[in-house]
Amino acid sequence: MAGRLQDKVAIVTGSGSVGPGWGNGKAMSVLFARQGARVVGVDIDAAAAAATQDIIDGEGGQAIAVVADVTSGADVERLVATALAAYGRIDILVNNVGIAVVGGPAELDEAAWERVMAVNIKSAYLTCHHVLPVMIRQRAGAIVNNASVAVRGWAGVNYGFYAASKGAMVAMTRTMAIRHAPDGIRANCVLPGLMNTPLVHAALTRVYGEEGDIDNLIRKRDAQCPLGRMGDAWDTAYAALFLASDEAKYITATELLVDGGLSARFA
């Protein structure tokens, strides 16, 4: 039986994982391949990108790994050229690269602002800038941008700069979706809530207690969630799969919350 993304070509940025287990991009890449996509997995970490490709190869899927810094225009241009040389088209773009930084204007300096905006939103601008002309020529395409429930309100931690970057992601996605709807292109955001991923373990244990105390982080974040537990990378991946697939052919310019009800507490 054909998969939900059968024979589609999907670029997934941040396809590796910063530590053991499943990050969002790793889960998306593997899930997309399981659903028949030919995956172009992109990561700045060559070993992490290769590890994801090895999983896909081992399951009989199709994938190539590209090492690139998606905050670099030259790297993104090379990435898109590589995808086209390998597969001849680009049907899906998933912008998943991001960093979690705690603090806002009072706490963080200009360098921190520049870094967050470069990784979290400039990267998405660059990929869209180079991929949209391809999709326009094809008269078809689906863009899925990984934002965050942090844009909806205060989640117990000062994610000021992070929320600003993700708010920009949502705004760019909405306007891009309307601008390119006549071209047959859809664009949507996934808004994950509190997730249990290697990136969270690496970046946020000190915020919730002692540096490196993952058990404490998990316990405290689970307690914040209405469902009593955090989500995981597969929850994000299945949401992205839906938005990338033809099942969502009449859905564009919107956000899919994957937060276990967390944002209902912001109202």
Q: Find out whether 173 and 187 touch, Cβ atoms under 8 Å.
A: yes
Q: Find out whether 172 and 189 touch, Cβ atoms under 8 Å.
A: no
Can you tell me which residue has the tokens 């993304």? 5
Rounded-to-integer distance, Cα 91 and Cα 207, Å: 39
pLDDT of residue 211: 85
> Residue 152: which residues within 8 A CB-CB, separation 6 or more?
191, 263, 266
Q: What domains can be seen in the chain, in order of their start residue?
A: 9-193+232-260 (3.40.50.720)
pLDDT of residue 267: 61
Catalytic position from the list 159, 162, 208, 250: 162
Rounded-to-integer distance, Cα 210 and Cα 63, Å: 39
Rounded-to-integer distance, Cα 239 and Cα 31, Å: 11
pTM of this structure = 0.96
pLDDT of residue 156: 77
pLDDT of residue 212: 86
Q: Which pairs count as long-range contacts for 20-24, CB under 8 Å and 24+ apart, including other chains?
A: 20/198, 21/197, 21/198, 21/233, 22/197, 22/198, 22/232, 22/233, 22/234, 23/197, 23/198, 23/199, 23/233, 24/96, 24/146, 24/192, 24/195, 24/197, 24/199, 24/233, 24/236, 24/237
Rounded-to-integer distance, Cα 214 and Cα 24, Å: 18
Residue 96 C-beta-side C-alpha neighbours within 13 Å: 31
pLDDT of residue 210: 81
pLDDT of residue 266: 74
Mark whether 162 is an active-site residue.
Answer: yes
Residues of the chain with pLDDT under 70: 267
Neighbouring-strand partners of residue 190: 146, 256
CA distances to 163, 215, 238 from 231, rounded to whole Å, are: 19, 15, 12
Paired tokens of 48 = 């992490």
